[in-house]
Amino acid sequence: MSSLSGSPDEQQTGLAVKVDNLSITYRTTFERKPTLRQALIRFGRGQRSVREVHALQDLTFTVPVGTAMGIVGANGAGKSTLMRAVAGILPPTQGSIEVWGKASTLLALGVGFNKELSGRENIILGGLAAGLSRKEVEERADEVAEWTEIGDFIEMPMRTYSSGMSARVAFSVAVHMKPDILMVDEALSTGDARFRAKANDKMAELRSSARAMFLVSHGLNSIKEMCTAAIWLDKGRLMMEGDPESVVEEYKKFTKVKKSAATEDDV
């Protein structure tokens, strides 16, 4: 089960998120190459095979109010799947997720944007998707547009944007809609060094007002500098939970990644 609000007694425990024995399994199909004989029988069509993917396996952890939770792990570890589960987008196969407060829905930057609409129009759509009223969104639209620092491009269709410009718009929407639980997936790799510093400052500001924050990033410095706790996932399993410095160091040892500028900075 996944709930968006807990009972009064549960809220008094001071938790923002509780994940209990969470597993998510889904089935996917892929094309298997046929033999010549099979191809002749099936007129050249490939054979569809079904594969079961265990995206998350038996995860249990809690996130107290005021926590900035970093999530580290290699590609395919289950980081984004976990974020989508907490946001209520993916239902648990087993176990439960309880969330006290409203989680942001802009996880992967730019997801849900209409490329034919302008940046400003997508800002309004993003705000409405976050649950704000039309009036509230329009009141914040100018502030969000100015924060992106893309100038007149904000009035142009997003299909004309570079990937970095699109990411700026998406990140700006995410951090200005003031969710109870802020969830950001790889946002801090966007833009130049000055914009990234600005993004860091905004995230720090939000930490003081949001009930909790989740940050998924391959930039290990961002995890250590911006988070108060961290978890490490590998192939859907929880490998370690603890302070960011310790989790990052153990993750690096496991992956045999030597300390260097490339591994410590956002990439």
Q: What is the pLDDT of residues 202-249, one digit of tens each?
A: 877 877 788 898 988 888 988 998 899 999 999 999 999 999 999 999
- Tokens in use for 34? 């046929």
Residues 109-165 pLDDT 10s: 555 688 999 999 999 888 887 777 888 888 889 999 999 999 999 999 999 998 788
Q: What is the pLDDT of residue 31?
A: 59
Residue 2 has pLDDT above 60, yes or no: no
Task: Give 108's DSSP letter.
Answer: B
* Residue (of 73, 71, 98) closest to 242 by Cα position: 71
Q: What is the pLDDT of residue 8?
A: 46
Kindly compute the dihedral angle of the four CA atoms of residues 197, 199, 200, 205, in this order, to the nearest 10 degrees.
130
N-term to C-term CA, the chain: 36
The SS3 of residue 63 is strand
Residues 68-105 as b/e (b if ≥16 CB within 10 A, e otherwise) read bbbbbbeeebbbbbbbbbbbeebebeebebbbbbbbbb
